[in-house]
């Protein structure tokens, strides 16, 4: 995967009407990614939760869509659907009878076993980000940035591509009824 960035010329153009849209289109073109003309970008927050009870590994944004565990219709973006992902937030939930019946805590400090391990991101089978330590998601819960990690280089996830975020814990999480959530922040086409 090529390291792409918006250069200072692109950033100066953003302040002009339509400048951000043109800069994003240039970014996609430089990456060789498809983009449907006329689509507009807006803030995007993509969520997926995985039960981690007794697991040493967990995979996010892949597999079957389960009601209550994601805000997505499909884990493969449809034609014209593209994302530029800039941040990841990890959250933790310990529920009593059903997912969603307990408070979701931003960051992983509430569930210490979840904070040991690493996270890697694959787009279309290619490694995009390797071995982010889960400890970066353990900031104090009072912080407005609790559980957020800023990617060094934005990731493009475009139409028809799979994404697999693989989390490997160093210890099996034996506590019952725990869900680890990931939120991906960035821009998406609509």
Domain segments of the chain: what residues? 39-189
- In the numeric block, which tokens belong to residue 45? 């927050």
* pLDDT on residue 26: 78
* pLDDT on residue 9: 54
* pLDDT on residue 126: 94
How does pLDDT run along the chain (190 residues), one tens digit per residue? 334 444 555 445 555 656 777 777 777 788 787 776 777 778 899 999 998 888 889 999 999 998 889 999 999 998 888 899 999 999 888 776 776 667 788 888 777 777 788 999 999 999 999 999 998 887 655 667 788 999 998 899 988 999 999 999 888 766 667 888 999 999 888 7
Report yes or no: 50 and 67 within 8 Å, Cβ to Cβ.
no
Report yes or no: 138 and 107 within 8 Å, Cβ to Cβ.
yes
68, 74, 77, 81 alpha-carbon torsion, rounded to 10°: -70
**DSSP code at position 103:** P
* pLDDT on residue 178: 84
Could you give the strand order of the β-sheet that contains 163-169, starting from the edge strand earlier in sequence?
A: 57-60, 163-169, 117-123, 126-133
The CATH number for 39-189, chosen from 2.160.20, 2.60.120, 2.40.10, 3.40.50, is 2.60.120
* pLDDT on residue 118: 94
**DSSP code at position 137:** G
Contacts of 18 (CB under 8 A, 6+ apart): none
């Amino acid at each position: 995967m090529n390291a792409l960035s918006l250069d200072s010329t692109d950033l100066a153009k953003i302040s002009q009407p339509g400048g951000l849209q043109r800069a994003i289109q240039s970014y996609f073109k430089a990456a060789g990614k498809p983009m449907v003309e006329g689509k507009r970008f807006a803030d995007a927050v993509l969520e997926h939760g995985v039960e981690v009870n007794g697991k040493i590994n967990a995979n996010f944004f892949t597999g079957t869509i389960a009601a209550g565990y994601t805000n997505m219709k499909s884990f493969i973006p449809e034609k014209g659907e593209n994302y530029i992902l800039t941040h990841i937030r990890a959250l933790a939930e310990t529920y009593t009878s059903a997912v969603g019946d307990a408070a979701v805590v931003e960051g992983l400090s509430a569930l210490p076993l979840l904070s040991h391990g690493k996270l890697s991101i694959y787009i279309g089978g290619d490694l995009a980000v390797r071995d982010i330590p889960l400890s970066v998601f353990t900031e104090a819960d009072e912080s407005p940035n609790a559980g957020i990690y800023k990617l060094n280089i934005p990731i493009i996830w475009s139409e028809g591509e799979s994404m697999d975020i693989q989390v490997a814990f160093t210890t099996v999480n034996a506590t019952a009824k725990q869900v680890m959530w990931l939120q991906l922040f960035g821009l998406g086409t609509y």
